[in-house]
Amino acid sequence: MSSDFLLSLAQAVTKGLLTGMVYGLMALGLSVIFGVMRVVNFAHGEIMVVAMYLAWAAFEYAGVPPMHRQAEPMSGAR
């Protein structure tokens, strides 16, 4: 297998895990709100979108790409 394939596979797995964790946090938040108040909070998704937008804006302001860093070969590697 080529290193490009393995890098793409690692990035796909990482992005999938991170997306799954975001969905899990959304589900956890909805279940906690419903369990405590017995009311479905329809604004929960909107709050999550605003939080994601603010995180993106913070990464852009800091000049740090959140997931676009390419793996560089180690010095002295054969």
Q: CA 37, 44, 22, 20 torsion: positive or negative?
A: positive
In a domain, 43, yes or no: yes
pTM surpassing 0.85? Answer: no
pLDDT per residue rounded down to tens, the chain (78 residues): 788 899 899 989 999 999 999 899 888 988 888 889 888 887 888 888 899 899 889 988 998 877 665 555 555 554
In a domain, 20, yes or no: yes
The secondary structure element, H or E, covering residue 33 is helix 3-37
In a domain, 55, yes or no: yes
**C-alpha 28: how far from chain center:** 16
In a domain, 74, yes or no: no
In a domain, 69, yes or no: no
In a domain, 33, yes or no: yes
The domain tally of the chain equals: 1
CB 30 within 8 A of CB 44: yes
Q: What range defines the domain where residue 57 resides?
A: 3-62
